[in-house]
Amino acid sequence: MRKDLRLELRSGESTLALLALSMLVLVVLVFALGAARVRSVDAAAGALWVAMVFAGMLGANRALLAERDNGAIRGLLLSPLDPSTLYAAKLCAALIFMAVAEVGAVILMVLFFNLDFDASMARLAPILVLGAIGFSALATLLSAITGRTRGGDMLLPILAVPIFVPALIAGVKASAAALAGAPFESMGDWLKIMIAFDVLFVTAGYLLFEHVVGGE
């Protein structure tokens, strides 16, 4: 993971792309929704999650892209490194990239949707963390599959977004409630869905990654 972060700090390609994409999505949605809905927390939560999903896909793709240059993934698979550890490292790297994009997206959301920086932002944080873990876990696993195929970059959103829909709906609903100032207890069911999704896909990635990259 240290190597991934060093590569990213050196080039800054992923972080800049993630922030630019988040900004683009939010700007487009602000103009599409019009002035009447721009102070709606539902619209803001929806726009934030759309930006997050796009940024997450880009981040997961980038995390494994460095390993495909010069076949470095084979060097890793041949080493004593446990493939599950490799998955954990890639997941952490994708998660860090996504967290950076989320911070940027939240700031832009507050600015574009005329929201206030108040206690609701603190309530939003754990929801976004849960969403980022789930989506990074799913996208890291799927990008290991799609990266081996021609046109894999196109395939990733087609596979990832439908699978992520339950957590996406839960995330949007919980985020809208948090921005509206609702207490955590009222979002319990949505948070449970997100936690279940995280546990499911982190475990699946940890167990399956070896088989997914094994035939590289």
Q: Does 74 bind other proteins (CB under 8 A)?
A: yes
Work out how close the CB of 212 gets to other proteins at its nearest, in angstroms, rounded to a whole number: 15
Window of 55-63, 71-79, 137-145, 158-166 that interacts with other proteins by CB under 8 A:
71-79
Q: Which residues, other chains included, contact 42 with Cβ-Cβ below 8 Å and sequence gap of 6+?
A: 176
Q: Which is nearer to other proteins, 20 or 77 (CB)?
A: 77
Window of 26-34, 78-86, 98-106, 160-168 that interacts with other proteins by CB under 8 A:
78-86
201-to-28, 60, 98, 131 alpha-carbon distances in Å: 31, 14, 16, 12
Measured distance CA(122)–CA(117) in Å, rounded: 9
Q: Does 79 bind other proteins (CB under 8 A)?
A: yes
Backbone angles phi, psi at 182, to 5 degrees: -70, 150
Fill in the per-residue mask, 28 to 67: x = in contact with other proteins (CB under 8 A), - = not in contact. --------------------------------------x-
In the three-class reduction of DSSP (H, G, I as helix; E, B as strand; rest coil), residue 11 is classed as helix
